[in-house]
Amino acid sequence: MKHILSVFSILILLSCSTSKGLQVKKDAVEASLTYLASNELNGRQTGTPGIEKAATYIESIFKDYKVSTYFETYRDSFQLKDITGYNIVGYLEGNDPKLKDEFVILGAHYDHIGTAKTVDGDSIANGANDDASGTVAVLEWAKYFAKAKNNKRSILFTLYSAEEMGLKGSAHLAKVLKEQNLNLYTMINFEMIGVPRTFGNKLSYLTGYKKSNIAEKLNAYAGESLVGFLPQAKKFNLFKRSDNFPFFNEFNVPAHAISTFDFTNFDYYHHVDDEAENMDFTHITNFINKMIPALEGMINAPSKEIKLNDE
C-alpha cells in the first residue's frame, strides 16, 4: 500500500511540475510590459515609428514561439486617410478534427495616444495600463498555448492598433474575418489589467455582463470566481467602447471585454504617469495564470456552451 501511495504521489508531483513549468513567469511579464511602455516607443500612436517597434516586437514573439500567421503575414493592414495601421494576428490551429473549424479570439490593443499634457517635463503617454498590460497578457497566452499544444479549437491572438482612434483596427479585422466566413465561437478583449481591484472585489469584471453566460462559464472552468460585474460598466457604456464590440456587431456571438480597471484604482488614464513603474506585476501575472484554466475550458469544451442571453 505504501508503495502504491508513493508511486501515486510521484505522479502527482510530476503532473504539478509540468503544469508549473508552463506557468507564466513574472519576469517575462515585466520585461515585455516595460519595453512596450518605454519612452523608446514614444507612446505607440498609430502611424508612428514607435508603434512600428511595438508591432515588430509582437511579431518576434509569435515567430520565436512558432505561432503561425493567419494571413500572408502577421499584419492585417488598413488605411485611415494618410495613416497606415497594422493589427498583428497570430494563429494556432486547433488539434481536434471537428472543433478546429471553430475559432476563439483573444485580443487587446497595442496602440496608445502618443503624448499627453506635460507633467514635470514628461509628455510621453506610455500606456502601460492602457493597454500594454492587456497586450502582454495576450502574448503570454500565445506562448502558453504554443507550448502546451492542447487547444482543440483554433485560436487567433489579435493585437489592434487605432483603438484610440475609435476602434478602427478591430473594426477592420472583424469585417475582414466576417467576409471570410470565420466560424467565430467567442471573442474576449483584455483591457487595462495592470492594477488590482480594491479588496473584496472579484479579480476582474466583464463588460456586457448580461449579454451572455460567459462569466458564469469562465468561472466554472476556472474552478473559482474570477470574473464579476461592475455596476458602472453599463453607465459608462463600456461594452461598446472597447475592441470586443466590432466582433459582437459583425458576428452576433459572445464578445466581451475583461478588465481590472474600475475607475477607483488607477488615476492615470491617458496620463503621462501611466508608466510601467506604476503597474502591479504580481497582480498581472496572477491574473494571466488564473485565466489559463478558464480559457482552456472555453477553448476545449466539447460543445458551444457559451451562448448569448435573451435580453
Give the per-residue pLDDT at 185.
98
Is 291 among the domain residues?
yes
**Model-wide pTM > 0.85:** yes
Residue 198 scores a pLDDT above 90: no
Is 305 among the domain residues?
no
Give the per-residue pLDDT at 21.
65
Q: What is the pLDDT of residues 256-295, one digit of tens each?
A: 999 999 999 999 999 999 999 999 999 999 999 999 999 9
Q: Note down the domain range covering 246.
A: 25-300
- Among 241, 173, 161, 179, smallest CA distance to 207 is for 241
Q: What is the pLDDT of residues 21-58, one digit of tens each?
A: 689 999 999 999 999 999 999 999 999 999 999 999 99
Give the per-residue pLDDT at 200.
80
- Among 203, 210, 208, smallest CA distance to 294 is for 203
Mean pLDDT, residues 241-246: 98
Find the CATH number of the domain harbouring 283: 3.40.630.10
Is 311 among the domain residues?
no
Is 18 among the domain residues?
no
Is 200 among the domain residues?
yes
- Among 60, 26, 173, smallest CA distance to 108 is for 173
Listed range (7-11, 65-69, 104-108) with the worst mean pLDDT:
7-11
Alpha helices of the chain — where are they, by DSSP H? Answer: 2-21, 26-36, 49-64, 133-148, 168-179, 214-222, 231-235, 245-251, 281-300
Q: What is the pLDDT of residues 141-194, one digit of tens each?
A: 999 999 999 999 999 999 999 999 999 999 999 999 999 999 999 999 999 999
Quote the percentage of the chain above a pLDDT of 90. 90
The total number of structural domains in the chain stands at 1
The values of phi and psi at residue 67, to 5°, are: -80, 125
User: Which grid cell is 278?
Assistant: 506604476
Is 70 among the domain residues?
yes
Categorize the per-residue pLDDT at 310 as very low, low, confident or very high, splitting at 50, 70 and 90.
Answer: confident
Is 261 among the domain residues?
yes
Is 6 among the domain residues?
no
